[in-house]
Amino acid sequence: MKRWLQGWLRDAPRWLFLAALVYAPWAYGGTTKESIAGINLLLGIALLLWMIALPFQRKTAASAGDNPISSWRMPRLFLVTSAALLILGWFMTANAVSIYDSQFYVFIPVRHWIAHPRGSVDYAISAAWMLRATLLLAVVVFVADLSRDSRWLLRLWWTIALAGGSIALLGLLQKATGAEMIFWQPAPASAHGVKAFFATYYYHANAGAFLNLTMPFAIGLAVRTFQKQEPAGVRALWLGLSVIMVVAVAANTSRMSELIALGLILTLAIKFSPDLFRGLSRTERSLAGVGAVVVLITLFAVAQASRLDLSMQRWQTSHETLSENGRLLASRAALTAIPDAGAVGFGPGTFRVVFPYYTAPFDRITGVWRFLHNDYLQTLLEWGWLGGALWGFLFFGGMAAGVRNWLGRKNQNWSPRYRLLLPLVIFSLAGIALHALVDFPLQILSLQLYAATYLGLGWGSGNWARNIRAES
Residue 29: which of 190, 188, 211, 191 has the closest Cα?
211
Q: Would you tell me how many other CB atoms lie within 10 Å of the CB of residue 199?
A: 27
**198 bridge partner residues:** 201
Identify the pLDDT of residue 114.
Answer: 76
Question: At residue 328, what is the residue type?
Answer: L
Q: pTM of the predicted model, to two decimals?
A: 0.89
144 close to 457: Cβ distance less than 8 angstroms: yes
- Residue 130: per-residue pLDDT: 97
> What's the per-residue H, E or C state across 283-337?
HHHHHHHHHHHHHHHHHHHHHHHCCHHHHHHHHHCHHHHHCCCHHHHHHHHHHHH
> What is the chain's length?
472
Q: What is the pLDDT of residue 113?
A: 75
Q: Which pLDDT belongs to residue 55?
A: 77
Residue 99 contacts residue 105 (beta carbons within 8 Å): no
What integer pLDDT is reported at residue 387 of this predicted model?
97
CA–CA separation, 101 and 34 (whole Å) = 21
Asked whether 96 and 122 are in contact (CB, 8 A), the reply is: yes
Quote the pLDDT of residue 160.
97
Q: How far is the C-alpha of 158 from the C-alpha of 54, rounded, in Å? A: 25
pLDDT at residue number 156: 97
Torsion from C-alpha of 159, 395, 417, 47, nearest 10 degrees: -50
SS3 sequence of the chain = CHHHHHHHHHHHHHHHHHHHHHHHHHCHHHCCHHHHHHHHHHHHHHHHHHHHHHHHHHHHHHHCCCCCHHHCCCCHHHHHHHHHHHHHHHHHHHCCCEEEECCCCEEEECCCCCCCCCCCCCHHHHHHHHHHHHHHHHHHHHHHHHCCCHHHHHHHHHHHHHHHHHHHHHHHHHHHCCCCCCCCCCCCCCCCCCCCCECCECCHHHHHHHHHHHHHHHHHHHHHHHHCCCCHHHHHHHHHHHHHHHHHHHHCCCHHHHHHHHHHHHHHHHHHHHHHHHCCCHHHHHHHHHHHHHHHHHHHHHHHHCCHHHHHHHHHCHHHHHCCCHHHHHHHHHHHHHHHHCCCCCCCCCHHHHHHHHCCCCCCCCCCCCCCCCHHHHHHHHHHHHHHHHHHHHHHHHHHHHHHHHHCCHHHHCCHHHHHHHHHHHHHHHHHHHHCCCCCHHHCHHHHHHHHHHHHHHHHHHHHHHHCCCCC
C-beta separation of 359 from 133 below 8 A:
no
In sequence order, the β-bridge partners of residue 100 are 107
Stretches in the chain below the pLDDT threshold 70: 1-6, 57-71, 115-116, 187-195, 275-325, 410, 465-472
Report the alpha-carbon distance of residue 124 to residue 220 in Å, rounded. 42
Contact 338, 382 (CB under 8 A): no
> What is the Cα–Cα distance from 239 to 276, expressed in whole angstroms?
14
pLDDT in tens, 317-357: 544 444 446 788 899 999 999 999 999 999 999 999 999 99
6-41 per-position pLDDT tens digit: 677 789 999 999 999 999 999 999 999 999 999 999
Q: What CA–CA distances, in Å, run from 121 to 107, 114, 351, 381?
A: 8, 14, 10, 12
Is-contact 194 158, C-beta < 8 A? no
